Amino acid sequence: MEVGFFWPCSPGVSPLGATSDGAEMVETLTEVTQAIRACQHCAARFAATKTAHEPRPLLRVSETARLCIAGQAPGLRAHNLHQTFADPSGERLRAWMGLDAEHFYDDTRISVIPMAFCFPGYNANNHDLPPPKDCAALWRARLFEAMPQIELIVTVGKAALGWHRPELRSKSLTEIVSGGLSDGSPPVLPLPHPSWRNNAWLKGNPWFETQTLPFLRTEVVRLTTP
């Protein structure tokens, strides 16, 4: 799990769900989600980037979705449209899963939880900055504690995999993806990021299309069929 510092969300309540007198407080998914959508923790950080944008947290969750897509962070287009995976990478991911946009964005069946909920901004070379680690440290454990019904987490890229399966961080992308389903509660299925930057990797590893994707699509059907 990533380590970071915490930022209180309201008077008398710590971000880990304990009251000021030390008593344990159980958070509902609605409470955690509302707090995430109101979060301004990175406002100064984003204002200092080349894009000088404001926080705009993006996530899709429900108490019934059994499948979770764990991505990296929204890009600029997703930020502007206020929609997760609203870009060519999202189109490729939906093709991998065998889903159209309507079914992919059905919150009751699929949750989409990035490693950071806001677009992190561009660097001087117009490349996306990495997801701020503060975001995962502030919210991720709390969010998954409120979603015990999740049966499978599909990680998209190494940032999400590193949080959910830190023991795999030292391995190569090929080792990780070819290893398939990772044991755990819930289990994790690692995917490469569907960005065009991975085109060469996809071309050099045809087994991904013939072995990994059929298994992924079978799991998608199993977990999203009423």
* 186 prior amide bond cis, ω within 30: yes
pLDDT band at 126 (very low <50, low <70, confident <90, very high): confident
Other beta carbons within 10 Å of 171: 16
pLDDT score of 37: 96
For the stretch 149-189, pLDDT in tens is 999 999 998 889 999 999 998 999 999 999 999 888 899 99
pLDDT score of 24: 57
How much of the chain is helix, strand and coil, in % rounded to 5? 40, 10, 50
Tell me the C-alpha distance between 47 and 42, whole Å.
9
Tell me the C-alpha distance between 112 and 138, whole Å.
17
Tell me the C-alpha distance between 1 and 166, whole Å.
7
pLDDT score of 127: 85
pLDDT score of 12: 30
For the stretch 131-155, pLDDT in tens is 999 999 999 999 999 999 999 999 9
Question: Residue 141: in which H helix or E strand, if any?
Answer: helix 141-145
DSSP class of 102: H
Contact 131, 73 (CB under 8 A): yes
| φ/ψ bin of 125: left (φ > 0), alpha (ψ from -120 to 50), beta (otherwise) | alpha
pLDDT > 90 in the chain, percent: 80
Tell me the C-alpha distance between 126 and 148, whole Å.
38
pLDDT score of 194: 95
pLDDT score of 2: 28
For the stretch 23-44, pLDDT in tens is 456 799 999 999 999 999 999 9
Residue 20 in this model has a pLDDT that exceeds 80: no
What the block records as the tokens of 219 is: 């799991």
Contact 114, 131 (CB under 8 A): yes
Q: Which of 119, 25, 2 is nearest to 72 (CA)?
A: 119
Tell me the C-alpha distance between 20 and 24, whole Å.
10
pTM: 0.86
Distance from chain centroid for Cα 92: 16
Mean confidence (pLDDT) of the chain? 88
Q: Which domains does the chain have, with CATH numbers?
A: 29-224 (3.40.470.10)
For the stretch 71-96, pLDDT in tens is 999 999 999 999 999 999 999 999 99
What the block records as the tokens of 201 is: 């990797």
pLDDT score of 226: 84
